Amino acid sequence: MKPGIHPEYRPVVYRDKGADFAFLTRSTATSDQTIEWTDGNTYPVIDVQISAASHPFWTGKQRLLDTAGRVEKFRNKYARHGGRAGR
């Protein structure tokens, strides 16, 4: 690696406030905010809107879509406009 052209790779805390979940990892992301971690050290913190703790796929709270209902909705929509999809 060429010296001086790469961003600093350091420990960073990612925090999902909605799920009250945070994890420490290494990243090149930067932040002006800091947080004191459980090990007593202070790290930069990056707030995210969704993480594995709040994403519907990982929490098992995802909605299943009715594929047949979507096809019927499509056909009804284009049948009103005289399109060929409704025939």
The mean per-residue pLDDT over the stretch 27-41 comes to 94
On the question of pLDDT at 16 being above 70, the answer is: yes
Please state, in angstroms and rounded to a whole number, the distance separating the CA atoms of residues 40 and 72.
Answer: 58
23 CB-side CA count, 13 A: 9
Mean model confidence pLDDT for the chain: 82
- Confidence at residue 55, expressed as pLDDT on a 0 to 100 scale: 67
pTM here is 0.61
- Confidence at residue 59, expressed as pLDDT on a 0 to 100 scale: 64
The mean per-residue pLDDT over the stretch 38-45 comes to 96
- Confidence at residue 86, expressed as pLDDT on a 0 to 100 scale: 46
